[in-house]
Homo-oligomer: A and B are copies of this chain.
Amino acid sequence: MPAYATNMRLKFPILALTLEIITIILYAVFTVYSDGKSHDEGDKKHNETHPDTEPLKLYPMFQDVHVMIFIGFGFLMTFLKRYGFSSVGVNLLLAAFGLQWGLLMQGIWHLEDGKIKIGIEKMINADFSTATVLISFGAVLGKTSPVQLLIMTILEITIFCVNEHLAVEVLGASDVGASMTIHAFGAYFGLAVARVLYRPGLRNGHENDGSVYHSDMFAMIGTVFLWMFWPSFNSAIADPGLPQLTAVINTYLSLAACVLSAYAISSLVEHKGKLDMVHIQNATLAGGVAVGTCADMAIGPFGAMLIGFVAGIVSTLGFKYLSPILAANLGIQDTCGVHNLHGMPGILGGLAGIVAVALGRKEGDAAMQAAALASSLGFALVGGSITGLIMKLPFWGQPPDQNCFDDSIYWEVPAEEEENEESGAHADHSKNKAEV
């Protein structure tokens, strides 16, 4: 079956090594360490309060974001019963490459003497740029090869950096927690890719497209770390001092309110009033997404809670009612339901930002906010469609339908314990680290 040449022995190593070598060369040419003096982050206001002696002031927030990217996104996707290695492992691969690429792509807009000066804020933004890819990864989880996903990483981060520059620098829109430029962008980009890669053979579901008890527990590690550190995500690049504090408080309260509405609606929409892990793992986070754009605005604690409350409802209802319709009628097979966690809450966040700016909760131009939202959606849908077409080329090692949602096509997977015991023998494919 030549269309499914899933053996990656040559194509994956060649691609990965080539990309990394090119990246190292680009770093040799374009990057230096921050000297702590110049316009380190392209923003004079910051430098007045981040003096030379405190280049690590934002480091704890960076580490919170880092945990969200690598533990949060990685484990959130481990809910699938046989796809945990790929979820956390490919998440690590994509994010590790993505942050290198993102730092370059974001930095080319702010060269100083022809160089990108690397500091903590640039590292935070580099981590941010990978979040778009990890969101899109959720939409196509289980149905793509590592080679396809590396290609998506390069293209999506490049397009993200163009849109972000347009939205924030050119249009001057406010989007401190990136509801529009990361969440809505990443979700609709991924949905566009998923649409292009539509698999009719999965119309009726797939045996492995579901969880088992312990895989749902692993996913909760991701959920809870994302939930806890989201205030850092939304405030990391806010203006220091009270605006940053406001972003922390708004996100903390929005997420807390969101939990209550997500649990309530999850119970309400099930026949027997039971809670559904899919909703708990995802919709409880929608408050973090939706308050992103407004996080540093004076919307009041109750305003943040209202946004989170609505986001929890919208997200849970989306999982229950909208995702099946998208899959059945539009051919959008969204494995993790990123439309419900990042898509709709991201748009909600963008709209809230327009209203908040119009109401004067932060200086700005409501029309530019709207333009930034439109730009993010437009770049996502067009960019995702083109990227999907490239990913659809038949030589990137995508899995055949029957091997979707299954680690064993790209990973050495240990034999099950039961088999070992029954056979009484030393299974060939058990991993004896030192001996074999």
B435 touches A333 (CB 8 A): yes
B245 touches A412 (CB 8 A): no
Q: Which residues of B lie under 8 Å from residue A298 when comparing CB positions?
A: 33
Q: A249-B33, A264-B17, A300-B32 are contacts. A210–B432 as well, Cβ < 8 Å?
A: yes
B301 touches A84 (CB 8 A): no
Stretch at the interface among A200-208, A342-350, A371-379: A200-208
Most B CB within 10 A of own CB, among A7, A92, A123: A92
A148 adjacent to chain B (CB < 8 Å): no
Nearest CB on B from A402, distance (A): 13
Most B CB within 10 A of own CB, among A207, A309, A336: A207
- Closest residue of chain B to A273 (Cβ to Cβ) is B9
A56 adjacent to chain B (CB < 8 Å): yes
Q: How far is the CA of A130 from the CA of B403 in the complex (A)?
A: 44
A61-84 to B contact mask, C-beta < 8 Å, 1/0: 101101100110011001001101
- Closest residue of chain B to A334 (Cβ to Cβ) is B434
Q: How far is the CA of A12 from the CA of B260 in the complex (A)?
A: 10
Q: A84-B217, A228-B70 are contacts. A257–B100 as well, Cβ < 8 Å?
A: yes
A217 touches B17 (CB 8 A): no
A394-433 to B contact mask, C-beta < 8 Å, 1/0: 0000000000000000111111110010000011001111
Q: How far is the CA of A63 from the CA of B62 in the complex (A)?
A: 13
B435 touches A89 (CB 8 A): no
Number of copies: 3
Q: How far is the CA of A302 from the CA of B49 in the complex (A)?
A: 29
Query: B-contacting residues of A (Cβ < 8 Å)?
Result: 7-10, 12-13, 16-17, 19-21, 23-25, 27-28, 31-36, 49, 52-53, 55-56, 59-61, 63-64, 66-67, 70-71, 74-75, 78, 81-82, 84-85, 88-89, 92-93, 96-97, 99-100, 118-120, 123, 146, 202-207, 209-214, 216-218, 220-221, 224-225, 227-229, 232, 240-242, 244-246, 248-249, 252-253, 255-257, 259-261, 263-265, 267-268, 270-278, 280, 284, 298, 300-302, 305-306, 309, 319, 323-324, 326-328, 333-337, 410-417, 420, 426-427, 430-436
If A9-B268, A24-B309, A217-B218 are given as contacts, then 17 extra A-B residue pairs at C-beta distance below 8 Å, sorted by A number, are A7-B273, A10-B273, A16-B264, A17-B260, A20-B257, A20-B264, A34-B245, A52-B242, A63-B232, A81-B414, A96-B256, A118-B301, A146-B275, A212-B416, A270-B412, A276-B411, A277-B411
Q: Which 6 A-B pairs have the closest CB atoms?
A: A9-B273, A96-B259, A28-B302, A210-B430, A8-B273, A16-B264
